[in-house]
Structure 1
Amino acid sequence: MAIVLVVDDSSTMREIVASFLRQNGFEVAVATDGRDGLLQLRSDPGIRLVISDVNMPNMDGLTMADKIRNELGNKDVRIVMLTTEDNPAMRDRGKTIGVTGWIVKPFRGEAVLGPFRKFCGMT
């Protein structure tokens, strides 16, 4: 059962984030875009945290977040955007959708370990 789902179209970024999380005791699944992320969420009810890029082909991260909240009706999973986007309007859209957090790349894992563990019920 996966606890954290990392969604990014960059294989390098997926691996950096997933490896860091695994090294720190998280179970991790990965997805290549928002569409793949939704499929993962439908098949694994154990996912507690989604860490997603915003700009991806097929389905972007904010559209995926909207579908998680509205189509899947999943209000419990935490959604954190990990992106180069620092646009206030985009952040506001994310907040309206139900995005839990917004991290601007580069990824600094140590800074988010505490909140991520809390989101996953590891504390």
Structure 2
Amino acid sequence: MGDGRIVAIADVLELIDLAAGRLRKESGGALWDEATHTPAELPPEKTEPTVLIVDDSITVRELLSMTFNKAGYRVEQARDGQEAWEKLRSGLPCDIVFCDIEMPRMDGLELLSRMQKDPILTDLPIAMLTSRGADRHRQMAVQLGARGYFTKPYLEEALLEAANRMLKGEVLVITKAEAS
């Protein structure tokens, strides 16, 4: 506090994830009592997929969050590629990423490139959601490993259907060169 008092801060969402088994505690943590975790305990089944929405526009993030929440997804947000990268590298449990291309600090293509080079994140499906409809942007995203490419404005139903298909392993982008 401003007067020098110490105040405990808890990340309530992380505590809920820990309790629900969606997040594993790091081994060797001094704050957790190993004796309370018995090998017979199985974490509950994960019922809702988690989507990470990466966009510098708060409006877009909130609209996408409402769309995915209504469809039963757990939603995380990042303001730009740098924040998304930090969250993913710190162990954020995530099943799919929807990412803008043009953002400050780290753009979506740089985030995509970093994720493809990371052995832990390379299989995480990422879809670009951008106002850039030119084929060259689409080709760059595909070459960097994007599994989906959507332009704004978007249809909620189409985006949700695409997310479900990508979660099942489908790649939904093709370039004009591949189509011919």
**TM-score of the superposed pair, with normalisation by structure 2:** 0.63
Q: Tell me, yes or no, if structure 1 residue 96 matches structure 2 residue 143.
A: yes
Match in the other structure for 2:96: 49
The structure 2 residue matched to 1:112, chosen from 123, 148, 159, is: 159
Secondary structure of 1:4's match?
Answer: strand
Contact 2:51 2:94 in 1 (8 A): yes
Structure 1 ranges of 4+ moved more than 4 A? none
Secondary structure of 2:149's match?
Answer: strand
Match in the other structure for 1:19: 66
Contact 2:147 2:166 in 1 (8 A): no
Q: Tell me, yes or no, if structure 1 residue 76 matches structure 2 residue 123.
A: yes
Contact 2:99 2:126 in 1 (8 A): yes
Gaps of 5+ in 2: 1-21, 23-48, 169-180
Larger radius of gyration: 2
| Per-residue deviation, 1:19 | 1.0
Task: Give the number of the structure with larger relative contact order, counting CA–CA contacts within 8 Å between residues 6 or more apart.
Answer: 1
Contact 1:80 1:103 in 2 (8 A): yes
Secondary structure of 1:69's match?
Answer: helix
Secondary structure of 1:46's match?
Answer: coil
Change in CA separation of 1:22 and 1:69 when aligned onto 2, cut-off 3 Å:
same
Flag the structure with higher strand content: 1
1:37-95 deviations in Å (ceiling 9; x for gaps): 1111112352111101000000100110000111x222211111110001111111111
Contact 2:56 2:80 in 1 (8 A): yes
Gaps of 5+ in 1: none
Contact 2:100 2:128 in 1 (8 A): yes
Match in the other structure for 1:36: 83
